[in-house]
Amino acid sequence: MIDIKLIRENKELVKENIKKKFQDEKLPLVDEIEALDKKYREYKLEGDQTRALKNEKSNEIGILMRDKKIDEANKIKEEVSKYNEKLVELEQKEEELSKEIKEKMMVIPNIIDESVPIGKDDSENVEIQRYGEPVVPDYEIPYHADIINKLNGMDKDAAGRTSGQGFYYLLGDIARLHEALLAYARDFMIDKGFTYAIPPFMIHSDVVTGVMSFPEMEAMMYKIEGEDLYLIGTSEHSMIGKFKGQMIKKEELPIAMTSYSPCFRKEGGSHGLEERGLYRVHQFEKQEMIVLCEPEDSMDWYNKMWSYSVEFFRSLDIPVRTLECCSGDLADLKVKSCDVEAWSPRQKKYFEVGSCSTLGDAQARRLGIRVKSDNGNYYLHTLNNTVVATPRGLIALIENNYNEDGSINIPKVLQPYMGGKEKIEVK
């Protein structure tokens, strides 16, 4: 949610930003909010003036009662009673307008960074840089589900019986490799100075709407029937929500945390090979990183955070590239975002394994997270980034370490988490 001062002082900037995101249907909202805000401030001013008059008259009553001028005091009490009635009416109008303004403001997209390329959707995202040499071996690499099945590492049929499409059992060495990847990601981020956390896996609706836009929520989140609880789609949701309504001391910033969680997503639209494999699933696990920082430091943190993801995958000898997300591909709360994509030697192309975003003060403003300083209180900036999400990270690991005989090499950094095992072999 942007600061309403932007609409008061520079509504053309807000409209231009909406156009850059190809959301022209939202343009009328800006004028509607401006008009509602004008009414709100008029009612607030009238309320303040009425309150001042009421207080002035109330003071007079005390003096008159002291001087035993009862009749005069009673007349002024009648005036005060009318002021009270008017205040109730004005405060009700203020509350109604404030609610309406907030609902409309929640739909206005955040102001994107000047460096964001303009484009309608993810097809217009821009490659920034490649890291590592993409390799295509001279032997065929099967579909990842076939590789895993040959190693007795997955059972989707059983998961279909227990839970339905989009779920899976991981078994044996593949399940162990999956957990090794997450454990290594945890330690990798701890070594970077991040505090490790395991958050709640369910959150209230006011936290959900604080960290993401309503369309995102509808597309992603599972709601617990009959309760004000949602299953998290990423631990960023509950990690940022941890600070809801808090006043953070300036000297406590930056706050850098890395969190593990299972993630639950609707993931509509999967088809073909995706249904048979692990690309689009309803449940997966993830190591995330979040940062709360001073506004002037957010871009430095943004660049550090995506570079950590690149470093992580390169430590596994997986070639990656970074893509700058264009304006039309940015969720409404994001200021700037980039995807990290891993090389798929089977598909001979890159695929997304993580995303890094800075959201400015949008989440902090929605959740009421402020910084306490000697020069006044203000909203901080929030950022999030994927260290690794499995099973997509697992797919990249398997494809880039697959041998012609069907075995998988285990990267050196993961071997301590696999009991020293160097290879997973077909039995």
143 sits in the region (left: phi over 0; alpha: psi -120 to 50; else beta) called beta
Q: Which long-range contacts (CB under 8 A, 24 or more apart) does 28-35 make?
A: 29/104, 29/107, 29/108, 30/108, 32/104, 33/4, 33/7, 33/101, 33/104, 33/105, 33/108, 34/7, 34/8
Q: Do 111 and 13 contact (CB within 8 A), yes or no? A: yes
Global pTM exceeds 0.85: yes
pLDDT of residue 103: 92
pLDDT in the model for residue 55: 80
What pLDDT is recorded for position 275?
A: 62
Euclidean distance between CA atoms 173 and 191, whole angstroms: 26
Q: Which residues of the chain are in CATH 1.10.287.40 domains?
A: 4-105
The length of the chain is 427
DSSP 8-state symbol, 127: E
User: What gap in Å lies between CA 303 and CA 262, rounded to an integer?
Assistant: 26
Per-residue pLDDT of the chain (427 residues; tens, 9 = 90+): 899 999 999 999 999 999 999 999 999 999 999 999 999 999 999 999 988 888 888 778 777 777 778 878 778 788 888 888 889 999 999 999 999 999 999 999 999 999 999 999 999 999 999 999 999 999 999 999 999 999 999 999 999 999 998 899 999 999 999 999 999 999 999 999 999 999 999 999 999 999 988 777 888 899 999 999 999 999 999 999 999 999 999 999 999 999 999 999 987 655 444 567 898 899 999 999 999 999 999 999 999 999 999 999 999 999 999 999 999 999 999 999 999 999 999 999 999 999 999 999 999 999 999 999 888 999 999 999 999 999 999 999 999 999 999 999 999 999 999 999 999 999 8
Distance from chain centroid for Cα 111 = 16
Please say whether the beta carbons of 325 and 338 come within 8 A: yes
**CATH 3.30.930.10 placement within the chain:** 122-424
- Look at the domain 4-105 and name its fold: Helix Hairpins (1.10.287)
The topology under which CATH files domain 122-424 is BirA Bifunctional Protein; domain 2 (3.30.930)
Residue with tokens 């995330």: 288
Rounded Cα–Cα distance for residues 19 and 327 (Å):
10
Question: How many Å apart are CA 281 and CA 263, to the nearest integer?
Answer: 10
Q: Give DSSP secondary structure letters for 338-380.
A: EEEEEEETTTTEEEEEEEEEE-TTHHHHHHT-EEE-TT--EE-
Closest C-alpha among 37, 212, 275, 144 to residue 29:
37
